[in-house]
């Protein structure tokens, strides 16, 4: 299966059901009064981690996910059924951002459900609007619209240790001998095309997750080669094991390799350049003592732990993983990204009903207020109390104030959601 670690989709929570307009009708019961029930709540869009998934490939073929709407209320004070939540399963480690603003909405790294889009609440039935002076309310409240977002999903693998280094330095061989992972191993560049996870178990109480990150090359942070696609997966790692071909079997200099990879890490992320490192001088069985000594001297001057290994013969691998476990014991847990609140302007616009007003020919004031469509849908404009309710909504939302500010005169026409009426002070 193709490895896909980014996807962009649209999610839409369910709308709340509309409240009902109904009146009690029963033999021998005169003027039974309003008994319209409330609408049910719309379904939420909920994300959960699924360890059986390792890619976002499914989201390449389906781009829109919509939760069901709540049922409308009905007579006899019957409340509509609330809709079930839409559950979306993603690989553990999926980071979700709002596409428009880039803010982090959730990091699906734990076992908890994450509600990203909340369903709309159900509208109130006309039973709630009866008063001593308004005994026959012929209107109800519509259900609220569910939240909708376009989101960007990005998979950042969760691993304690990340293996980094140039292609063909022996990372795949190393992870295959210290864990149960079975990556493809061959003597050519970019054999590993997808990150590989393996659990390294030292004893009954100690183990950690190691990730073989596909080989980086110079310029990877700028999009060169395959490595740039996987640098994001290194960001969560608590410790990096930098694997270097100390033998220079491909004609490269080990010191130069080490510096180039660290430059790419720093260019991609400042935090990556500060991540603790252990250096593994691999292919030592093919290297001379002078090559090993020169590289050791350079690394130890950098203040980094240095291990001479041969993944092919397992020489030094046990000492390497034990050292990694000891370092991990002193480090904080795997990084989890905290959700970011919506920007203040977004919060204020959600709390206030947005609208625009435009003056057309013949003194027609056109009001664009999509939210008003739901109110008009459940209001009876031939009923005086229902009309009063609609007028209160126009006043509380600021539409009337805006019309007066724009100079509307008595008798001018107001058009809103296909409904027209003459303005009266």
pLDDT tens digits for range 364-387: 888 888 778 777 766 666 666 677
Lateral strand order in the sheet of 86-90: 86-90, 45-49, 114-117
State pTM to two decimals: 0.68
Closest to 331 measured CA to CA, from 264, 417, 236: 236
- In this prediction, residue 2 carries a pLDDT of 47
Q: What domains are there in the chain, each with its CATH number?
A: 1-156 (2.70.210.12), 161-328 (3.40.50.300), 353-422 (3.30.300.350)
- pLDDT tens sequence across 152-198: 999 887 789 989 888 888 888 999 999 876 755 545 444 445 677 88
Report, as an integer, the average pLDDT of 89-93: 92
Closest to 314 measured CA to CA, from 151, 146, 177: 177
Cβ-based neighbours of 177, under 8 Å, separated by 6 or more: 311, 314, 317
β 239-245/277-282 pair status: parallel
Would you put residue 22 in left (φ > 0), alpha (ψ -120 to 50) or beta? beta
β 94-98/104-108 pair status: antiparallel
């Amino acid at each position: 299966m193709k490895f896909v670690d980014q996807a962009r989709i649209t999610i839409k929570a369910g709308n709340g059901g509309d409240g009902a307009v109904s009146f009690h009708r029963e033999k021998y019961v005169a003027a039974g009064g309003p008994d319209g029930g409330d609408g049910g709540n719309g379904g939420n869009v909920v994300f959960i981690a699924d360890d059986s998934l390792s890619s976002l490939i499914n989201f390449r073929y389906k781009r829109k996910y919509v939760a069901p709407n709540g049922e409308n209320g009905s007579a006899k004070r019957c409340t509509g059924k609330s809709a079930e939540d839409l559950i979306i399963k993603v690989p553990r480690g999926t980071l979700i951002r709002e596409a428009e603003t880039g803010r982090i909405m959730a990091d699906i790294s734990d076992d908890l459900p994450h509600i990203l889009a909340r369903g709309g609440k159900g509208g109130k039935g006309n039973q709630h609007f009866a008063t001593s002076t308004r005994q026959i309310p012929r209107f109800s409240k519509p259900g609220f619209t569910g939240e909708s977002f376009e989101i960007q999903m990005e998979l950042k693998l969760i691993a304690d240790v990340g293996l980094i280094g140039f292609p063909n330095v022996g990372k795949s061989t190393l992870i295959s001998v210290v864990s149960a992972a079975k990556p493809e191993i061959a003597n050519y560049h970019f054999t590993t095309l997808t990150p590989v996870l393996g659990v390294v178990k030292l004893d009954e109480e100690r183990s950690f997750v190691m990730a073989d990150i596909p080989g980086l090359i110079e310029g990877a942070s700028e999009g060169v080669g395959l490595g740039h696609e996987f640098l994001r997966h290194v960001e969560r790692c608590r410790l990096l094991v930098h694997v270097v071909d100390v033998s220079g079997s491909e004609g490269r200099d080990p010191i130069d390799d080490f510096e180039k990879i660290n430059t790419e890490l720093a260019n991609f992320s400042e935090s990556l350049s500060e991540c603790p490192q252990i250096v593994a001088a691999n292919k030592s069985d093919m290297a001379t003592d002078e090559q090993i000594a020169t590289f050791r001297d350079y690394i130890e001057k950098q203040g980094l732990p240095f291990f001479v290994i041969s993944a092919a013969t397992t020489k030094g691998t046990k000492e390497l993983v034990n050292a990694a476990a000891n370092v991990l014991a002193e480090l904080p847990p795997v990084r989890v990204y905290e959700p970011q609140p919506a920007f203040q302007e977004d919060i204020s616009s959600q709390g206030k009903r947005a609208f625009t007003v435009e003056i057309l020919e013949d003194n027609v004031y056109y009001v664009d207020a999509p939210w008003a469509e739901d109110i008009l849908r459940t209001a009876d404009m031939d009923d005086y109390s229902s009309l009063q309710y609609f007028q209160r909504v126009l006043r509380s939302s600021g539409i009337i104030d805006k019309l007066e500010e724009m100079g509307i005169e008595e008798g001018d026409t107001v058009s809103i959601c296909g409904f027209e009426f003459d303005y009266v002070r």
